[in-house]
Amino acid sequence: MVSGTVGTGTALGAVLVSLLAAPAQAAAPAATDGAGTEQVAATAALAAPDDAGLRKVLRAALTQGAPGAMARIDDNGTVHRLTEGVADRASGRAISTNDRFRVGSVTKSFSAVVLLQLVDEGKLKLDHSVNSYLPGLLPDNHITVRHVLSHRSGLYDYTNDMFAHTVPGFEAVRNKVFSYRDLVKLSLKKPRTNAPGAAYSYSNTNFVVAGMLIEKLTGHSVGTEYKKRIFTPLNLTNTFYVHPDTAIPGTHAKGYLTPDEAGAALVDSTKQTASWAQSAGAIISTSHDLDTFFSALIRGKLMSGAQLTQMEKWTTVNSTTSYGLGLRRRTLSCGVSVYGHTGTVQGFYTYAFTSKDGKRSVSALANTSNNTNVLNTMYGTLESAFCGKSATKAATHGVAPLERNEDIAPGIARD
């Protein structure tokens, strides 16, 4: 028998649906050796998700400026749905875990999956030069497909200049349509950040190149390939790539961009082409569909085991984060490692991660951006979802790391 509880929470509309707790699932904290391959350090049982702690995280995001925040946990058949605040400030409609939203750089994981499928099909080799597939595109024949998928190409991130001033930068591109080559040309106006393969340096330019590779090798748009290879096989009925259309189809959360000027009014940034991002950040989805996607990915349902192994060859970013091929690994305060991606697009912060076995996944959203306090707070959704009640204790001792948004203008310090 399944039981559920629903609470209205605060006047802002907290909603919790928590079904019967599932048994703890196995998870494997991991480390990275010098060759970048994952080593299993130990096996630990996942604690039950801390719904009360998760609700506190979402409420904290509201006090820091997010109009709404929500999270969905899919835990081996058990579903937890938590929401706080509103999807639409004008109407006051409460945010829902069924709402569609812009996932930002979570799109990068979808793009990487398509390219790794093309490796499986013999149409692409990770260690071949990008220029062997796109002649003359890049200034260095030593930049490989692996380099762009792991952010080790050294290609400058054009969004640093585009969004150096947050709201004016956004309004300048809100309705603009770029070609992929337009965006690459913006990057190449600036010196490269490092030699190919020398260092990790997050850049949206890399996944613009990924989109170009997809379209060159398949002869189809990235939207067509996402749908054929991922959306339809996984029955992701609420996931879309609508570029260059500006609207999010169906019922959705509106996004609210925080201006750089303290105290300035939030800007409704929902409608935009997202053409500045495209294959680096223009997918629209829901928390259910993102949970389904990352669970299927980590379980090996989207590519061969050999290519999943390549995807999980890690480059260290910092003490808690490593990057593979379009995939992040986060090590939490309890020692558990989780796998997925973060996403920022104007007005939306997303965290979407799954456990090592793919049996527990969480996707969380705050419908604002350019707000470092909210970004840091929303990291706590991972702690509550995968570490359980121990996350609350860890947070009080300053264990949780400060987040640094890489997804838009990673070279611009906002605080």
Q: Is 355 a catalytic residue?
A: no
CA dihedral for 49, 51, 52, 53, sign (positive or negative): positive
Record the tokens describing residue 282, joined without a space. 């223009």
Exposure of 130 by Cβ count < 10 A (0-12 exposed, 13-18 middle, 19+ buried)? Answer: buried
Amino acid identity, residue 200? Y
b/e map 383-414, b = 16+ CB within 10 Å = bbbbbbebbbebbeeebbbebbbbbbbbbbee
CA dihedral for 247, 220, 341, 158, sign (positive or negative): negative
Query: Which of helix, strand or coil describes residue 227?
Result: helix
Spatial contact of 336 and 46, defined as CB atoms under 8 Å apart:
yes
Closest of 245, 286, 248, 241 to residue 114, by C-alpha:
241
Spatial contact of 162 and 187, defined as CB atoms under 8 Å apart:
no
Spatial contact of 363 and 74, defined as CB atoms under 8 Å apart:
no
Say how far apart CA 302 and CA 308 lie, in whole Å: 9
Closest of 415, 390, 322, 406 to residue 104, by C-alpha:
406
C-alpha to C-alpha distances, 74 to 49, 173, 291, nearest whole angstrom: 10, 36, 7
Contacts of 362 (CB under 8 A, 6+ apart): 49, 71, 72, 73, 74, 291, 351, 352, 353, 354, 381, 382, 385, 386
Among residues 105, 153, 201, 337, the one annotated as catalytic is: 105
What backbone torsions phi and psi does residue 267 show, to the nearest 5 degrees? -110, 125
Report the 10 Å Cβ neighbour count for 153.
Answer: 30
Spatial contact of 46 and 355, defined as CB atoms under 8 Å apart:
yes
Say how far apart CA 410 and CA 251 lie, in whole Å: 31
Catalytic site positions: 105
